[in-house]
Structure 1
Amino acid sequence: MISESVCRDCAPYTAHPNHWLERQLEILEWIATPLCCPTQWVRQHAPPVIHTIFGFGLGVGIDILRKIGVLGARKVTADDTVAAANLRIIAVAADRRGAHVECLTFRGKDCPIGELHSDHRRHYFEGLPLLTLATPKLAYDDKQALKQLLQRLDLPHAQGGAATSASRARRLAQQLGVPVVIKPRFGSLSRHTFVNLSTPIEIDNAIARTRQFSRYLIVEEFITGHVWRVVFVGDRLIAACRRDPPSIVGDGQASIRTLLCRKADSIESRSGRRIHAVSDSILDELTRKGYELDIALPTGQRVYLGEKVIAALGAEFHDATDAIHPDIEAQLTRLAHTCKAPLLGIDLIAPTLAEPLFPGKSVIIEVNSLPAIELHHYPSSGQSRDVAGLILDRALAMFHL
């Protein structure tokens, strides 16, 4: 079972259940926002030359911190087991182009800042090479701001709203009608996200558990359907996939434990990522559904291991890049153009991407300025897409590396 000292709603990512750090950072951000307004204004509205100067200044600051030993750096390689998946995949693409990637470190631990080296020139970036230190924060990482944008653009979105109190969240759920989704207004990786809530007890429990993570909530209607991720570089659609929750399928002989080990081995051989075959969250889900590890599943029976569609939990990804209907591509391109982000992941729920979005059955749910690219490089089925190569080629040209 999951330790009492680790938050089960953040699994597989470790966090303390009282989320003291996250709540303090939330307060600090609220205090610092007025002080940071000039900097954020520069990042959002200044002309390119000011961005260049601003980024150069930040880079000089990092260089100074490295010289005095506050920050360190280490080279990222293809078999790196510590670096973030995005950084490791970018490092492989860089090696093919005669470049290499380093990760900055603080007190021996990785920082979210990378460094791209090419022909004796260097480029600092945040997460992925197109996101410079001067790249403006994407306003639409705020899920409520995204809802308002989608409404202005007349694009499909889930009905709902924002709340900062439990009573307001309950009223929203009552107005929408069940089932509903409750999740943090800010955040990613499906942390403290609860779906398909129908009873007052479920809703109250979800509100309480989400408020452990953040006081800012989103309550919206629950839409059934497949979850899709579409990635843009600028205004260009470069990859799309269907994201399915992790599951195993019985063969009539193998135990659930064996099926889980096979799944973990398959993921490692395909992507290099090692997941826990029998994690605490999987054990909790199997127990909740009445399964034991040593029983055999009947042939063809599928058991879902959770609802989160993230790689670290063994979710499955199926390439759909060539199957997107032109109308959907046009709608998402309009959204990407409006967001003005160098890199954008768009999440939507729909029965299929091969036909136009169905009213009431298809919605855009989130955008992400730092999308995971692993799911496109190592899909469970379909063609691998060299997202890292496309990102890197654009970065090398854009920053004259």
Structure 2
Amino acid sequence: MSLLIKNGRIIDPKSAYDQIADLLVEGDKIVKIGPNLTAPKAEVIDATGLVVAPGLIDVHVHFREPGQTHKETIHTGAKAAAAGGFTTVVMMANTQPILSEAGVLKETLALAQKEAIHIKAVGSITQAFDGSNLTDFEALLEAGAVGFSDDGIPLTNAGVLRQALQKALKTNSLLSIHEEDPNLIGTLGVNDGEVAHQCGFTGAPTVSEYSMLARDAMIAYETGARLHLQHLSAGESVELVRFAKKLGAKITGEVTPQHFSITEQAVLEQGTNAKLNPPLRRQTDIEKIILGLQDGTIDIIATDHAPHTHEEKAVALQQAPSGMIGLETSLQLGLTHLVAPKHLTLMELLQKMTTNPADLYQFDAGYLAENGPADIVLFDSENDYQVAETFDSKATNSPFINQKVRGQVKYTICNGKIVYTQK
């Protein structure tokens, strides 16, 4: 199959290319980028007024299969990803059963390979998230794991984390960790501030995040292993990552769109759909996150796409599970809250959603080049629209429903095939 994309603004963060041009796809490769291209037998997409960028990459999603398919399946998750402009995603290990054994991981990846986008997965760091006994890293890597994470269950034992980092160094693999010390938290999912106190309980203070992050960044520094710090939410966490990087620690950091877009006040307005781990914080935290994005302290934007059913969320705030869906609003929130107010350029935003996440796992993805992979997103970066109440995801637990955002995905192309067209 041949595709000819005409007259789009082609942006490639890897090469810093930013020009109005054409792009020709044959099979699963880009074969030509330049002006006035012709291909008589190709399907033509008129990209006038649209941005043509590498397919987005999300290194942090929860597709709930196996074991929780009432929330999401690999298939519905893949559809949501394509609708959001993503052509590669990395699933976390907190399925049921947890991805602790090579056999379970192989079965899960076999399902993933049937989908139209690239779906990878991490194995768990510890057996069934027990926080004590390390999994067989070598066996999981051989089965297809791209890294390891106990995301959702922080590793409270510093000795276990050190052993895991030593093993990661030996196997040249990456650990991605969730930084929240449960011993410092009252109720998960809500910042320990005015909103939690107004609701009558003690929440999750920022120190629960940055104290554990400081410990782990220093252990990563000592071992020399690579460590990825997931969904930073506290301003102090950004400052600590900046310090540890200057020291020479091989760490990277990610932030979710929700954590740079809205504050803890959203809990009062949106209820349980705004309950997240880690929680939404204060405006002062957002300001420090934006500074971290600007100076490269924060490398990656990832969604932490976490579907839950309406029934699960339709309970009292303290009883509801934490998490929100994010694949179908991620790019738009970046355009709305980072590019429009000129915190980041469009090139810089795309770098944190394509090139940098590809580099994290050494994926052959996240760039546009001749002879490179034909994983592409076309989007309108200027138009405003209201987030709908329906999603390609099986779930609807988003605090952004009915909010005005900027930008809209028009086409997603993966392996040279159109996998999403805006309806």
TM-score normalised over the length of structure 2: 0.26
TM-score (norm 1): 0.27
Q: Which has the higher helix share?
A: 1
Greater relative CO (CA pairs within 8 A, separation 6+): 2
